[in-house]
């Protein structure tokens, strides 16, 4: 089963390895990013940051569209990590059912002028993407680690 | 819940806690920091550590994280910890030990948590260029 659908531009890092993985007792991290899938050093860094006893799969969007529906019905607890909203929209377009989306980190860069909490910075494009995802019936929350209170992102951007 | 005290030279421990909480979440209870300033007399250091230990003693266990083996924090904490069952004094604290302590204090028992903190701390020390980059 997919136990968390998360957007976090840091992908595998401390909040995931020490926060979500033990909290949800994840068996596997599934990273969906065309860029990382083609970058040997970043793949090695991510493997290095993955806790022992937890599997790591790094795949392109294309591969994920085939793999994730199978993961949804398997007994293994899979935590899905996407670097941005575009990956979530691409997976949705390819038919993946996404019940909820956790926004863990979208860091500042030029044009991301709306800041929500400590680690979420949104451009106009990001807001439009979030509205499209919410419009598809996906429950969206902003939350870094399990013990944080979730932020109602859609209320914050409306 | 296993309680935690961080005792360090200067404000190191306070910043370490802030950084670790940013990674694994705010610890709402069962955590004390004692920052030892050079302006404090040894008596005041002892008082601060005694008060923190009195507050944080727990039947489930108490873990004291300390920066340097052989420094004042260790020298003060060790005799106070001697007669407390389920109390560990762990030196060499780094951020991985701190996040590990916070992340697993509710789910592991005292012995396992102590072992886990030391293991994660040791694993964090590595030269990553030779480890991750091919020549």
**Beta bridge mates, A32:** A59
pTM for the whole structure:
0.84
Cβ <8 Å between A44 and B103: no
- Average pLDDT over chain B reads 95
Mean pLDDT value of segment B1-7: 97
Q: Which H or E element spans position A79?
A: strand A78-82
Among A18, B121, B106, A141, residue whose Cα is nearest residue A29: A18
Match 């109390």 to its residue by tokens.
B87
Nearest Cα of chain B lies from the Cα of A70 at a distance, in angstroms, of 30
DSSP state, residue A123: -
Candidates A145, A149, A150: best to mutate against B (most CBs of B within 10 A) is: A145
B98 in A contact zone (CB under 8 Å): no
A-chain CB neighbours of B128 within 8 Å are 48
Cβ <8 Å between B133 and A48: no
Q: What angle do CA A61, A116, A78 make, to 5 degrees?
A: 35
pLDDT in tens, A25-81: 999 999 999 999 999 989 999 999 999 999 999 999 999 999 999 999 999 999 999
Parent domain of B110: 3-132
Other residues' Cβ atoms within 10 Å of the Cβ of residue A10: 16
pLDDT in tens, B37-88: 988 999 999 999 999 999 999 999 999 999 999 999 999 999 999 999 999 9
Nearest Cα of chain A lies from the Cα of B135 at a distance, in angstroms, of 12
Cβ <8 Å between B132 and A48: yes
Write the secondary structure of chain B as one string of H (helix), E (strand) and C (coil).
Answer: CCEEEEEEECCHHHHHHHHHHHHHCCCCCCEEEEEECCCCCHHHHHHHHHHHHHHHCCCCCEEEEECCCCCHHHHHHHHHHCCCCCEEEEECCCHHHHHHHHHHCCCCCHHHHHHHHHHHHHHCCCCHHHHHCCC
**Rg of the Cα trace of chain A?**
15
Pick from A19, A45, A48: CB nearest B24: A19
The pLDDT-based confidence of B135 (bands split at 50, 70, 90) is low
Cβ <8 Å between A148 and B25: yes
Distance (Å, whole) CA A24 – CA A83: 20
Cβ <8 Å between A145 and B104: no
Q: How many domains does chain B have?
A: 1
Domains of chain A with bracketed CATH: 2-157 (3.40.35.10)
Nearest Cα of chain B lies from the Cα of A145 at a distance, in angstroms, of 6
A-chain CB neighbours of B25 within 8 Å are 19, 144-148
Nearest Cα of chain A lies from the Cα of B107 at a distance, in angstroms, of 9
CATH (domain of B9): 3.40.50.510
Pairing of the two strands A28-32 and A78-82: parallel
Do A129 and A85 form a contact (C-beta atoms < 8 A)? yes
Distance (Å, whole) CA A153 – CA A144: 13
A-chain CB neighbours of B22 within 8 Å are 118
């Amino acid at each position: 089963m997919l136990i968390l659908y998360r957007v976090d531009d840091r992908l595998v890092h401390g909040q995931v390895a020490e926060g979500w993985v033990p909290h949800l007792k994840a068996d596997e991290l599934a990273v969906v990013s065309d860029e990382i899938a083609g970058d040997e050093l970043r793949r090695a860094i991510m493997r290095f940051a993955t806790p022992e006893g937890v599997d790591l799969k790094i795949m392109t969007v294309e591969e994920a569209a085939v793999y994730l529906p199978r993961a949804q019905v398997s007994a293994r607890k899979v935590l899905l990590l996407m670097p941005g909203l575009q990956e979530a929209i691409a997976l949705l377009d390819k038919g993946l059912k996404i019940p909820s989306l956790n926004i863990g980190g979208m860091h500042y860069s030029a044009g991301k002028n709306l800041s929500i909490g400590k680690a979420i910075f949104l451009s106009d494009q990001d807001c439009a993407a979030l509205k499209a995802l919410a419009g598809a019936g996906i429950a969206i929350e902003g939350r870094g680690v399990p013990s944080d209170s979730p932020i109602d992102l859609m209320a914050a951007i409306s | 819940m296993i309680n935690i005290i961080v005792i360090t030279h200067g404000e190191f421990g306070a910043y370490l806690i802030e950084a670790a909480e940013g990674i694994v979440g705010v610890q709402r209870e069962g955590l004390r920091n004692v920052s030892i300033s050079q302006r404090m007399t040894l008596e005041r250091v002892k008082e601060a550590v005694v008060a923190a230990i009195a507050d944080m003693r727990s039947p489930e266990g108490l873990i004291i994280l300390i920066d340097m083996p052989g420094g004042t924090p260790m020298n003060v904490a060790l005799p106070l910890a001697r007669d407390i069952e389920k109390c560990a004094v762990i030196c060499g604290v780094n951020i991985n030990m701190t996040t590990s302590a916070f992340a697993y204090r509710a789910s592991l028992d005292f012995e396992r948590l102590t072992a886990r903190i030391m293991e994660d701390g040791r694993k964090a020390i590595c030269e990553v260029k030779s480890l991750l980059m091919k020549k």
